Amino acid sequence: MSDRYGSDVLSGDWKVPPRGRSREVEAETGLVVEDAQTGWCGAVVRVEKAGGMRVVHLEDRRGRTKGFPMGPGFLLDGAPVILTPPTAAARAQLAEARAATSRTASGSRAVEGAKARVASGSRIFVEGRHDAELVEKVWGDDLRIEGVVVEMLDGVDDLAAAIRDFQPGPGRRMGVLVDHLLPGTKEDKVVQACRKGPYAAHVRILGHPYVDVWQSVRPERLGLQQWPVIPRGQSWKHGICHHLGWQADTQADIARAWKQILGTVRSYADLEPTLLASVEELIDFVTEPGH
């Protein structure tokens, strides 16, 4: 009598995918795979030779990197695969495709060989260093082509004084990006007053609804479905770090946390639409022809 159910499905190492059903996949930079034995999931950051064998390094969502032997034992979208080194032809084809459709991180078409223009009189102001670094990473190439400098305000409590000091006018427009700009907030009251000032025609103040610019990064980039809600009275940034399992005892810890978050941003597609719309409008305002 034959065995209708076959062999014991629990026999052997169930974590290792059957070789016969694995397909070969080139380990291109950015490919996200999982090591079947350890469960380590991450993006390919580099492939190198070590000890006579090839090693693929995977970076997880927390910025940690771990090396694994190149070959079988990986999962791609849940299916077993065998990682192979990228071929020279594949690398050349990818480089050619990227060159043909080269774009900046903001989605604009890149201008090869263009030098940064001399800074114009107009400026874009943001609240702090993290805002400035995010704008630089995504829109930096565009701003250099346009000759627009981004400056920091260190908060908006005294925005009216900052506007007076800058003295906006024809050919000297001022764009301002404000965090947590929601009706009824402290920030909203400050902005409404400044929008009625004597320099109003040459100033554009826009913002985003997020508590901090960190929150304008899509949560999926950190492996989250949504940004966690931090209770009132608790430092928002410290609360986020604790939720992600990151150290947050010192200001240096907060700075490292932001670097990890910023490191997940590859282009405008990794940012929330509200921030994108505000920054794009500010750039258009300060670079409008004739001003």
Q: Using alpha carbons, list the distances in angstroms from residue 19 to 73, 81, 86.
A: 9, 9, 20
pTM (whole model) above 0.75: no
Determine the Cα–Cα distance for residues 241 and 265; give it in Å rounded to an integer: 17
pLDDT band at 226 (very low <50, low <70, confident <90, very high): very high
pLDDT(57) > 60: yes
Neighbour count for residue 290 (Cβ, 10 Å): 5
Mean pLDDT in residue range 87-116: 59
Determine the Cα–Cα distance for residues 96 and 105; give it in Å rounded to an integer: 18
Determine the Cα–Cα distance for residues 13 and 200; give it in Å rounded to an integer: 70
pLDDT(100) > 50: no
What share of the chain in percent tops pLDDT 90? 55
CA-wise closest residue to 177 among 264, 286, 269 = 286
pLDDT digits (tens, 9 = 90+) for 119-166: 678 999 999 999 999 999 999 988 988 889 999 998 899 999 999 999
pLDDT of residue 95: 56
Mean pLDDT in residue range 257-283: 93
pLDDT band at 86 (very low <50, low <70, confident <90, very high): confident
pLDDT(68) > 70: yes
Domains (range + CATH), the chain: 19-83 (2.30.30), 104-216+272-291 (3.40.1360), 218-264 (no CATH)
pLDDT digits (tens, 9 = 90+) for 75-84: 987 889 999 9
pLDDT of residue 142: 87
Question: Which residues make Cβ contacts (< 8 Å) with residue 80, sequence separation at least 6?
Answer: 17, 18, 21, 22, 23, 36, 72, 74
DSSP the chain: ---TT-S-TTSS-TTSPPGGG-EEEE--TT-EEEETTT--EEEEEEEEEETTEEEEEEE-TTS-EEEEESSSSEEETTEEEEEEPPPHHHHHHHHHHHHHT-B-TTSPBP-TTPPPPPP-S-EEEESSHHHHHHHHHHHHHHHHHHT-EEEE-S-STTHHHHHHHH--BTTB-EEEEETT--TTSHHHHHHHHHTTSTTGGGEEEEE-SSSSGGGGB-GGGGT-SSPPPPPTTS-HHHHHHHHHT---SSHHHHHHHHHHHHHT--SGGGB-HHHHHHHHHHHHHHT-TT-
pLDDT(14) > 80: no
Q: What is the mean pLDDT of the chain?
A: 84
pLDDT of residue 64: 82
Neighbour count for residue 64 (Cβ, 10 Å): 11
pLDDT(8) > 70: no
Q: Which residue would you say has higher pLDDT here, 39 or 177?
A: 177
Mean pLDDT in residue range 170-193: 93
Q: Which residue would you say has higher pLDDT here, 107 or 16?
A: 107
Least-confidence region, from 115-119, 135-139, 250-254:
115-119
